[in-house]
Amino acid sequence: MDCCKLENLEITFGKQGADRFAKVSYPIRYGRFCEIKTPGYLFQLNLNGEIKYIRGLNGNWPHPAEWLKRTDADDWVFYSVGEYNKIFSLLGEYYLPYLPYSSNSIWQHNPFADPTVAGARRAWCELQARLCSVPLNGASAEIKNFLNLAALQDAAALRRKSQALHRIIGAQLSVLPPDTRHVDYEIIPLVIADGCLYHCSFCCVKSRRGFSPRSKENILTQIRRLKAFYGSNLSNYNALFLGNHDGLAAGCDLVSTAAAEAYAAFDLENSHIKDPALFLFGSVDSLLNAQNRLFENLDQIPMNTYINIGFESADKDTLAQINKPLSIQKICDAFQKMLALNRGFANIEVTANFLLGDRLSAGHHDSIIELVRNGLERIYSKGGVYLSPLTSSRNKHDLLRTFYKIKNLSRLPVYLYLLQRL
């Protein structure tokens, strides 16, 4: 770690954060990064010289434990403390990420309208432009090189880089699996299939394309280009998302090959952050059709694998209402397979998505309770259930009451699904 003071800037290069993601109720950073501290703000940059976090240091900042984070899609997310215990009960995390775009969040607060929060981003732009002219006398060669690199990463450059990421993977990721919360949504995206097996009427995040797996050549090209894209900061990632909306349907060979090749190419074993993780979306049919060989292969890769399945409902009228072409028998069979996989594989966790809304069939929420309580003989800690609030719902308070009713009765962990894109 290298430190120096230039004018009113305190600079720390190569700072080491935590080496494992943790559930904590205080600000924590992971991997290696650089800090620039001014009288008013703490700016934290990744190893490519790109701004990553901003936290205010004066009394006008909303809360000393809250911060802004920039994603690889060039979105800014505000992390709010809210009420720690309440947020953890709802999300399984101690912080509530407020997103700058329309999502299915049931929270109405807009922290980006706060002049202090908006001012933090302006303050970074001003400082970033100033880095070109800061006298570097007394700074080490490493700090000089890093500040020169950071001086190039202005708003336009960052926007171009996010667009380059989408070109490399050939898609924009409209939603990440809810389980990526375990790594604070910090994943390397690798698209192995496009489109969806179904075209449900409620869905606002999936494309209308039919399902189509990518070729192995396309996947290997993505891996090569992604490695160059992340550059020096690649070592700060320990997680991989095999997208897009139904990676599981790509089949055993494609999923296994993509996971193994990416794990090796991205050197996830030697990441600054331990406990590598793999994330996929799956559908009811892709889960039922998946061969045991696939799960055996994934269980052997030294990563914790999370597969999120879109059940949506176990109520016949609701399935018809949302145009989901599945039978109740298939839903139940897939749910039982989910439970069996969670019991049978130490490194694999399959989780479930269900809808939460006040305009669905009267039997919808009861059908969820039937599965997550009456369908289980005891409480299980593995295999979470995520409830996704529909934007068409009229009464947010009623949704919360319904959520807690299901959560309190469930024999599986239950959380809200906060849609976050990349």
Looking at 99, 130, 156, the residue that finishes a domain is 156
d(CA 232, CA 381): 37
Those residues with Cβ within 8 angstroms of residue 31's Cβ, 6 or more apart along the chain or in another chain? 16, 17, 19, 235, 236, 271, 272, 273
193 and 262 both lie in a single domain = yes
Domain membership of residue 362 (yes or no) is: yes
d(CA 21, CA 92): 13
How are beta strands 212-213 and 304-312 bridged, if at all?
Answer: unpaired
Looking at 156, 179, 197, the residue that finishes a domain is 156
Please give the tally of structural domains in the chain. Answer: 2
245: confidence class by pLDDT, cuts 50, 70, 90: very high
How many of the other CB atoms lie within 10 Å of CB of 110?
Answer: 11
147 and 174 both lie in a single domain = no
Domain membership of residue 225 (yes or no) is: yes
Domain membership of residue 293 (yes or no) is: yes
Domain membership of residue 163 (yes or no) is: no
Domain membership of residue 422 (yes or no) is: no
141 and 286 both lie in a single domain = no
Average pLDDT, whole number, for the chain? 94
pLDDT at 207: 58
151 and 210 both lie in a single domain = no
Mean pLDDT of 234-246: 97
Please, which contacts does 12-17 make with residues 24 or more away whose CB atoms are closer than 8 Å? 12/37, 13/140, 13/142, 13/143, 13/146, 14/142, 16/272
Answer whether 269's CB lies under 8 Å from 302's CB: yes
278 and 177 both lie in a single domain = yes
235: confidence class by pLDDT, cuts 50, 70, 90: very high
pLDDT tens sequence across 10-52: 999 999 999 999 999 999 999 999 999 999 999 999 999 999 9
pLDDT at 136: 84
34 and 178 both lie in a single domain = no
The CATH number linked to 389 is: 3.20.20.70
179 and 65 both lie in a single domain = no
Helix (H/G/I), strand (E/B), else coil: 158: helix
378: confidence class by pLDDT, cuts 50, 70, 90: very high
246: confidence class by pLDDT, cuts 50, 70, 90: very high
Looking at 99, 129, 156, the residue that finishes a domain is 156
125 and 71 both lie in a single domain = yes
Phi and psi at 19, nearest 5°, equal -105, 10
DSSP 228-268: HHHGGGGGG--EEEEESS-GGGG-HHHHHHHHHHHHHHTTG
- Say if residue 205's pLDDT is above 80: no
The closest of 52, 289, 281, 6 to 184, measured between CA atoms, is 52
Which residues form the domain of 280?
170-416
- Cα dist. 336→154, 169, 290, 377 in Å? 50, 34, 14, 12
pLDDT tens sequence across 51-94: 999 999 988 999 999 999 999 999 999 999 987 778 999 999 99
150 and 200 both lie in a single domain = no
Domain membership of residue 123 (yes or no) is: yes
pLDDT at 106: 76
Give 18's Cβ-side CA count (13 Å radius).
12
Domain membership of residue 210 (yes or no) is: yes
324 and 257 both lie in a single domain = yes
127 and 223 both lie in a single domain = no
151 and 268 both lie in a single domain = no
pTM for the model: 0.96
Domain membership of residue 75 (yes or no) is: yes
